[in-house]
Amino acid sequence: MLKDWKKSERPSDEEVQVKLDTLRAQLATKQTLLKDHKLPVLVVLEGWGGAGKGSVLGKVIKNIDPRFFKVATMSVESEEEKRRPFLYRHFIKIPEAGKYMFLDGSWMEDVTNEYLHGDLEEEEYKNRLTSIKQFERQLTDNGYLVMKFFFHIDEKEQKKRIEGLLEDKNTKWRVSQNDLWQNKHYEKCLDVYDAYLRETNQSQAPWYIIDAKNKKWAEAQLLDILVNGIDTALKNEAKAVPILQNMFPLRKTPKLSEIPLDKELTEEEYREELEKCQKKLAKLHNELYRKRIPVIIAYEGWDAAGKGGNIKRITGALDPRGFEVHPIASPEPHEKARHYLWRFWTRLPKTGHIAVFDRTWYGRVMVERLEGFCSENDWQRAYNEINEFEKELTEWGAIVIKFWVQIDKDVQLARFTERQNTPEKQWKITDEDWRNREKWDLYEEAIDEMLQKTNTVNAPWYVLESNDKKYARIKALKILIEEIEKKL
Amino acid sequence: MLKDWKKSERPSDEEVQVKLDTLRAQLATKQTLLKDHKLPVLVVLEGWGGAGKGSVLGKVIKNIDPRFFKVATMSVESEEEKRRPFLYRHFIKIPEAGKYMFLDGSWMEDVTNEYLHGDLEEEEYKNRLTSIKQFERQLTDNGYLVMKFFFHIDEKEQKKRIEGLLEDKNTKWRVSQNDLWQNKHYEKCLDVYDAYLRETNQSQAPWYIIDAKNKKWAEAQLLDILVNGIDTALKNEAKAVPILQNMFPLRKTPKLSEIPLDKELTEEEYREELEKCQKKLAKLHNELYRKRIPVIIAYEGWDAAGKGGNIKRITGALDPRGFEVHPIASPEPHEKARHYLWRFWTRLPKTGHIAVFDRTWYGRVMVERLEGFCSENDWQRAYNEINEFEKELTEWGAIVIKFWVQIDKDVQLARFTERQNTPEKQWKITDEDWRNREKWDLYEEAIDEMLQKTNTVNAPWYVLESNDKKYARIKALKILIEEIEKKL
C-alpha cells in the first residue's frame, strides 16, 4: 500500500488554512454527538520516526474538550507489561463509549519493530498479525470506530528532519535510536510496513496514509478523514455483523441433562484427598511461579452450586502473593462503557500468577443473552470472540481451565430454602436468585450451547458434579493438578 | 484456513435429519423477507471436484420458490467472455434485490485453476486477488449479502468418489479432467486454496468451510449458516461503511468556472479538420479491431451542451459493426434492483470494439446525489468504486476516455429557448431540463468534486468547451485520436 501510494497535490498554504479552520470547527462539534451516540473512537497514529505524528496530534486534541479524550504514547514495554499477552497493553487502552483514545504508536509499532530487529520469527510474526486482525475486527464488530493513520515521509525527508533535530541541543533528545536505525534501513522498513498495511487493511478498519511532509497539510488530511469517519459511524447504530464459522477444534460435550449427579465422597475420603491435593497444588504453585506460567481458572455454575466453597479449597492451597480471586458482578459504568472483554483483559494475571474468576466473560452468552443486555447478534458473535480471547491466553502460554459447577434443580431449591432459613446465610440469597431459578430451562439451553461452542481443546470446560460439594471440590483440585502437571 | 480447519463432530443421522427438516422450513420462510427487505443474496459454492456442491445445491433450492432464485454453473469461459474483463462474467450474474443467485463455482475456481495450471503469473494472480477483494467489498458495501462456502473433502475421499463415478458408465461423464488433475495434485491445490481462502476471508464476506463427507450433513451445515446469515443481514438496513482513502494517482483538474469558453472554429476550419480527423479515426478503428483493443468513451455534460452532436461526429467515422452507442436514461426496474455499476458491466464492449456511453456511471455522484436517489454514504463511496471499476477496465487493456461537455449558463438558456421555439426540436426539451437548470450551482459543485476525485491517470477526464459546438467536436476527435495512437 505504501509503495504504490501516490500523494495527491498539496493545496496552497491559504487553502490549507481555510480547510483547517473549517475542519477544526467541525471536529469540535462532534464530541457531544459521540457522547449522545455512545460511540467509542480509537485513533491510531503510526508512521516514520520524525514524521510529526506527535506534533499533529497535539494540534488535533486542541479542538476537543479534555473530558472527551485520552492520549497514550507508545513506550518501551515495561517489565510488568512483558509479563502479559502482547495485546494486553493495547487492549486495556481502548476508549470508553462516547470518548476518544488517541494512540501515538500502537501494536503496529510493537510488532514491526520486533520483527525488523529479528526478535520475532516469521511464524510468530504471522501469528501476531492474525491476532491483530482479530483484535481490530472485535472492536469494529462491537461498535468501535477504529481509525488508523500512517504518517508517510520519504527517506530524504526523514534524514533531513533527523539531522535538523540533532543539530539543536534542545531537540536532540527527540531522536531515538530507532529513528536512526529506521532511516539507515529505510527500504527494508518500507517493505515491512507496506506488507503490514496491506495485510491489516480490513474494510471495516482501513488504513489512511497521510502525506506528512507539511505539518498543517498533514493535520488537514487527518482531520478530514477523522470527521468523515465519525459521520459515517454515527449513522450505524447496533449494526449486525456476519457470524464467523468456528475455526477452533472443539471437544465433544455432553448435555447438562445427561450428566449423572450421584457422585459423592464420604467425609473421610474427602478430608484425606483434600489434604493430599492441596499439598500437591502448593508445590506446583511454586513451580509455576518459577517457570513463569500464568494460570486462569474460570468458574461458572448455577446459583448455590457451591462455587465459593470450591474456590476456597483451591486458594487455600496457594501462596497469597501468587494468586488473585476476581468476583465478577454486573459491570461498573466505566466497564459497561467498553468492549465486554475489557474488564477481563484488565484482570489478567502476570506470568507465574494464578487468577481465579468467580463468574466470567461467559456472562455474555448467559445472563446478558437471557436478560437482553446485548443484542442477539452480540451474543451469537461472542462464542467466537471468546474462543479468540482464550486462544490469545493459551498462545501467550497460560493454562486456561473452565469449571461448570453443576447441580440439579431440587438441590438448588433445598440450598435456597436453607439459606432463607439460616440467619447468617440470608445475605447469600436474593430475589434475583429466585427469578433466575424460574428461568432454569432457558438458562440450561443457553449453557448447553455455550459448553458445546466453547469447549475448545486449548481451553476446555470441566463439569463439576456438585450435588455433593465435597466431590466437586476434590474433582476441581485433581483437574487443576493434572492440567498443571501436563504443562510443566 | 483449510489447513488448520478441524471438522466438528457429525451428529447422528437422526439428529441431522431433524436439523434438516427445521432448516429447510426456515429457509422457505425467508424468501418473502428477502423480498420485503429487497435484500440480494449471492451464494457462492466452491470446493473440491466431487465434493458434492451440485447435488447439495439441488437440495437447497427445493426449498425456495423458483421465482426467487437463479442458479449459474461455472463453465469454461466462452470465446465471447474471453473478450471481456475477467470479472465480467461474474459481475453480470449478481442477483437482483430480494432474490438469490447461487453460483456453483465462481471467480475462485476461475483464477485458482489458471494459477495452478501455470496460466497466470504470480503477479497477475495477486492483481486478480486484489480485484476480487474489491469486487466482494463493493457488493457487501452496497447491501449485498455474500455467502461463500468451500466444500471440503480429503484426498482419499476425493479419490474414492472419483473412482466410484468412473466405474458407472452413467456417471462417468461427471468426472472432469480437472477433477483428476486436482486429486493427483491434491497437496499443491490445498496450498493454493488455503492461501486463497485466507486472503479473501474478509470480515464482511467471510468463508465458511463445509465438511462435505456426508451429503445430508453438508446440506445441514450450509442451510444453518445461510439462514443465520440472512437473519443477520436483515437487521441492517442502509448501513453506512467507511470511506476508503483514494489510492489512485490523480491528475490536477481546474474548476469548471476557471475554464475559458471562448474557443471557437470557423465553419471552414471545422469542415477541414472534421474530414481529416474522421479519416484518421476510421483508419485507427481498423487497427484497434485487429489488435483487439477495446475503447470506452464516456460522455457527460450539461443539458443542451451538445453531447449528441458530438457523439455523431465520432461514430460517423466508425464502421458500424465495431461500435455501439449506449444512451443511459434512468435505470429500468431490473437495473435498479442491482448494484449501480451492473448496467455498465453488462454493456462493456468486446475487445476490439468501441462503446460510447451517452451519460454514464457518473450519474451516481451527480443526479443520484442531488436528487437523493442514494444515501450520502453511497455517493461518497462511489468515487472510489468508480475508480476501481475504471481501473479494472484499463487493466484489462481498454482505453478509457471521459468527456465533460462544458457550456455556460447563458448558452444553455439560449439553446433551451431555441428548442422550445423550434417545433421539430421541442422533443429535446422537458420540464425536467428546466428544473435541473435551477440547480445549476449545486450541480456545478458536485461536478467539480467529481472531476477532482475521478480524474485518474489511467482514465482521465477531458473538458470539451462547447459554447462553440464545432470546436468541441474537433477537440473530442483529436483527443480520441491521440489516446488511441498512444496505445497502439
Opening angle at CA A304, ends A302 and A310, nearest 5: 90
Over residues A321-348, mean pLDDT: 93
A271 — pLDDT class (breaks 50, 70, 90): very high
For A50-94, write each residue's pLDDT tens digit.
999 999 999 999 999 988 999 999 888 888 888 999 999 999 999
Over residues A413-422, mean pLDDT: 92
The per-residue pLDDT for A7 is 80
Topology, domain B13-234: Rossmann fold (3.40.50)
The 10 Å Cβ neighbour count of residue B458 is 15
Residue A127 touches partner B, C-beta closer than 8 Å:
no
Instruction: Using DSSP bridges, classify how beta strands A399-406 and A354-358 pair: parallel, antiparallel or unpaired.
Output: unpaired
The conformational region for residue A262 under phi > 0 = left, psi -120 to 50 = alpha, else beta, is alpha
Is there a contact between A229 and B241 if contact means CB atoms under 8 Å apart? no
Topology, domain A256-487: Rossmann fold (3.40.50)
Q: What percent of chain B shows pLDDT beyond 90? A: 84
The per-residue pLDDT for A374 is 92
Helix (H, G, I), strand (E, B) or coil at B164: helix
Q: Which of B121, B93, B112, B116 is nearest to B47 (CA)?
A: B112
Q: ipTM more than 0.85?
A: no
Is there a contact between B243 and A236 if contact means CB atoms under 8 Å apart? no
The per-residue pLDDT for A207 is 95
pLDDT of A335 strictly over 90: yes
Residue B9 touches partner A, C-beta closer than 8 Å:
yes
- Mean pLDDT is lowest, of A136-140, A371-375, A425-429, B120-124, for A425-429
The per-residue pLDDT for B394 is 95
B171 — pLDDT class (breaks 50, 70, 90): confident
pLDDT of B77 strictly over 90: no
Residue contacts between A and B (CB atoms, under 8 Å)? 90
The per-residue pLDDT for B310 is 96
Over residues B282-311, mean pLDDT: 96
A476 — pLDDT class (breaks 50, 70, 90): very high
Q: Which residues of chain A lie closer than 8 angstroms to B208, CB-CB?
A: 245
The per-residue pLDDT for A444 is 97
CA–CA distance, A244 with B203 (Å, rounded to integer): 8
For chain B positions 252-281, those within 8 Å of chain A (CB to CB) are 252
pLDDT of B5 strictly over 90: no
B392 — pLDDT class (breaks 50, 70, 90): very high
For B231-290, write each residue's pLDDT tens digit.
989 988 778 888 888 888 899 899 999 999 999 999 999 999 999 999 999 999 999 999
Over residues B405-419, mean pLDDT: 95
Is there a contact between B241 and A247 if contact means CB atoms under 8 Å apart? no
User: Does A256-487 match A13-234 at the fold level?
Assistant: yes
pLDDT of A238 strictly over 80: no
The chain A residue lying nearest B210, using CA atoms, is A245
Closest-CA distance of chain A to residue B449, Å: 14
The chain B residue lying nearest A141, using CA atoms, is B203
* A8: nearest CB among B202, B246, B380: B246
C-beta separation of A103 from A45 below 8 A = yes
Q: What percent of chain A shows pLDDT beyond 90? A: 84
* A377: nearest CB among B232, B250, B380: B232
Is there a contact between B202 and A205 if contact means CB atoms under 8 Å apart? no
Q: Which residues of chain A lie closer than 8 angstroms to B203, CB-CB?
A: 137, 140-141, 202-204, 241-242, 244
pLDDT of B18 strictly over 90: yes
Over residues B74-91, mean pLDDT: 89
CA–CA distance, B396 with B91 (Å, rounded to integer): 15
Interface test with A, best of B147, B241, B391 (most A CBs within 10 A): B241
Instruction: Using DSSP bridges, classify how beta strands B295-301 and B354-358 pair: parallel, antiparallel or unpaired.
Output: parallel
Q: What is the mean pLDDT of chain A?
A: 93
B307 — pLDDT class (breaks 50, 70, 90): very high
The per-residue pLDDT for A424 is 86
Helices A107-116 & A186-199 angle (0-180, nearest 10): 130
Domain boundaries, chain A: 13-234, 256-487
The per-residue pLDDT for A39 is 94
Is there a contact between A245 and B207 if contact means CB atoms under 8 Å apart? yes
Q: What is the mean pLDDT of chain B?
A: 93
For A185-213, write each residue's pLDDT tens digit.
999 999 999 999 999 998 889 999 999 99
Beta bridge pairs of residue A461: A402
Q: What percent of chain B shows pLDDT beyond 70? A: 100
Which residues, at least 6 apart from A269, have a Cβ–Cβ distance to it below 8 Å?
A470
Closest-CA distance of chain B to residue A381, Å: 11
B339 — pLDDT class (breaks 50, 70, 90): very high
B427 — pLDDT class (breaks 50, 70, 90): confident
Helix (H, G, I), strand (E, B) or coil at B356: strand
pLDDT of B351 strictly over 80: yes
Q: Which of B443, B427, B2, B413 is nearest to B187 (CA)?
A: B2
The per-residue pLDDT for B202 is 87
Residue A4 touches partner B, C-beta closer than 8 Å:
yes
Which residues, at least 6 apart from B79, have a Cβ–Cβ distance to it below 8 Å?
none
pLDDT of B16 strictly over 90: yes
The per-residue pLDDT for A263 is 95
Q: Which residues of chain A lie closer than 8 angstroms to B235, CB-CB?
A: 240, 377
A242 — pLDDT class (breaks 50, 70, 90): confident
CA–CA distance, A136 with A113 (Å, rounded to integer): 19
The per-residue pLDDT for B203 is 84
* B236: nearest CB among A8, A240, A250: A240
Which residues, at least 6 apart from B107, have a Cβ–Cβ distance to it below 8 Å?
B86, B87, B90, B132, B135
CA–CA distance, B169 with B183 (Å, rounded to integer): 20
Interface test with A, best of B203, B251, B255, B383 (most A CBs within 10 A): B203
Is there a contact between B229 and A243 if contact means CB atoms under 8 Å apart? yes
Is there a contact between A247 and B206 if contact means CB atoms under 8 Å apart? no
CA–CA distance, B108 with B151 (Å, rounded to integer): 13
pLDDT of B6 strictly over 90: no
pLDDT of B396 strictly over 90: yes
The per-residue pLDDT for B214 is 94
B43 — pLDDT class (breaks 50, 70, 90): very high
Is there a contact between A250 and B8 if contact means CB atoms under 8 Å apart? yes
C-beta separation of A405 from A300 below 8 A = yes
Beta bridge pairs of residue B296: B355, B400
* A232: nearest CB among B1, B236, B240: B240
pLDDT of A126 strictly over 80: yes
Instruction: Using DSSP bridges, classify how beta strands A354-358 and A295-301 pair: parallel, antiparallel or unpaired.
Output: parallel
Closest-CA distance of chain B to residue A246, Å: 9
Q: Which of B434, B416, B404, B399 is nearest to B310 (CA)?
A: B404
Q: Which long-range contacts (CB under 8 A, 24 or more apart) does A379-385 make?
A: A380/A243, A380/B228, A381/A141, A381/A241, A381/A243, A381/A244, A382/A340, A383/A246, A383/A450, A383/A453, A383/A454, A384/A243, A384/A244, A384/A246, A385/A138, A385/A141, A385/A341
The per-residue pLDDT for B264 is 95
Rg, C-alpha atoms of chain B: 26
The chain A residue lying nearest B221, using CA atoms, is A245
Amino acid at A154: D
Beta strands in A74-129 (DSSP E): 100-104
For chain A positions 228-257, those within 8 Å of chain B (CB to CB) are 228-229, 232-233, 235-236, 239-250, 252
Over residues B327-348, mean pLDDT: 93
The per-residue pLDDT for B285 is 95
Interface test with B, best of A245, A250, A374 (most B CBs within 10 A): A245
Residue A486 touches partner B, C-beta closer than 8 Å:
no
Interface test with A, best of B148, B245, B253, B379 (most A CBs within 10 A): B245
The per-residue pLDDT for B4 is 81
